[in-house]
Amino acid sequence: MIQVEHIEKKYAKVNALQNISLHVNKGEIFGIIGPDGSGKTTLFRILSTVLLADKGKACINGWDVVKDYRIIRNHIGYMPGRFSLYQDLSVEENLQFFASIFKTSIESNYYLIKDIYQQLEPFKKRRAGALSGGMKQKLALCCALIHKPDLLFLDEPTTGVDPVSRKELWDMLKRLKSEGVTILVSTSYMDEAARCDRIALMMKGKFLIADTPSNIVNQYNEKLWAVSSDAMAKLLIDLKNYPFIKNYYAFGDLHHITMQANSKSDIELQHDLHEYLEKLKHQELFISNIKASIEDCFMALTGGSSDTLHTTKNYE
């Protein structure tokens, strides 16, 4: 459905996209996961034909995004990251407008948006600008869907949306998938990765890895530990100074670490660390071997910090 070969895009001095290649199959939910500024929006704009790439080739359903942009625009739905509806038009008027510019009517594809739109209906006379963040995104999704596109581009649809609405939006995407709609969605919420069929982890304009979420997690070949104590801030510094530390980062309420490879058993490793931290007067120590999440994979791939990522705990 989507074929991207070696796409590059530069803004002044920033390499927004570097040698991006991507294949998305029909009927798939493909997630692009990465922190703000990693190039997700640029990629979405190129694929939705509103931006030209410097190099490379991209095709949607066999149509070239540069040459055949006119045909493509009849078949895709695009929901930009910014709230892009008319604030001074009511919920109903917005939907009506987008239905008509796609030469369709609300009722002909109503079944597609029904579940979400029912929640909006009590407010249908309200101006879009007066809606809450979650409601705005639901309306924007309805507007992007009303012409029943074959392919849906959703650029950070859940940013700034409450957890309940986020879940509803993802349920909606799942149902669209069952209708045969291919979905390319970007997010900076790591926990949403698991809801995609396949994901690509993106950072500084590059894809670090692209695979199914379970394959990515299975590829993680290091021993991961979760650590906590009564003094979490001090703990992170002390972990940093631990002679055998390899990677360390705050992960919600815990710190996640990996250690340099050696021949010691897990029990020994745990015991050594416990001893080291106890000497530094940490109390209520908790050290446990855990299974890696997508975010841990991301950390391992970047070897850096994930402060621009929205971790599982940040929004709850």
* Residues making contact with other proteins (CB under 8 A): 45, 48-52, 69-70, 73-74, 76, 78-80, 82-89, 93, 96-98, 100-107, 110, 143-144
Contacts of 32 (CB under 8 A, 6+ apart): 40, 43, 184, 185, 186, 187, 199, 200, 202
CB nearer to other proteins: give 56 or 312. Answer: 56
CB nearer to other proteins: give 21 or 96. Answer: 96
CB nearer to other proteins: give 99 or 309. Answer: 99
CB nearer to other proteins: give 39 or 80. Answer: 80
Distance CA 65, CA 209 (A): 24
Distance CA 176, CA 154 (A): 13
Query: Taking Cα atoms as reference points, which of 144, 152, 133 lies closest to residue 315?
Result: 133
CB nearer to other proteins: give 38 or 49. Answer: 49
Distance CA 31, CA 135 (A): 22
CB nearer to other proteins: give 106 or 280. Answer: 106
The least distance separating other proteins from the CB of residue 151, rounded to whole angstroms, comes to 11
The least distance separating other proteins from the CB of residue 16, rounded to whole angstroms, comes to 12
The least distance separating other proteins from the CB of residue 137, rounded to whole angstroms, comes to 13
Any idea what DSSP says for residue 21?
A: E
Query: Taking Cα atoms as reference points, which of 172, 29, 42 lies closest to residue 111?
Result: 172
The least distance separating other proteins from the CB of residue 233, rounded to whole angstroms, comes to 39
The least distance separating other proteins from the CB of residue 25, rounded to whole angstroms, comes to 22
Exposure string over 262-295, b if 16+ CB within 10 A, otherwise e: eeeeeeebbeebeebbeeeebeeeebeeeebbbb
The least distance separating other proteins from the CB of residue 256, rounded to whole angstroms, comes to 37
The answer to whether the beta carbons of residues 20 and 56 sit under 8 Å apart is yes
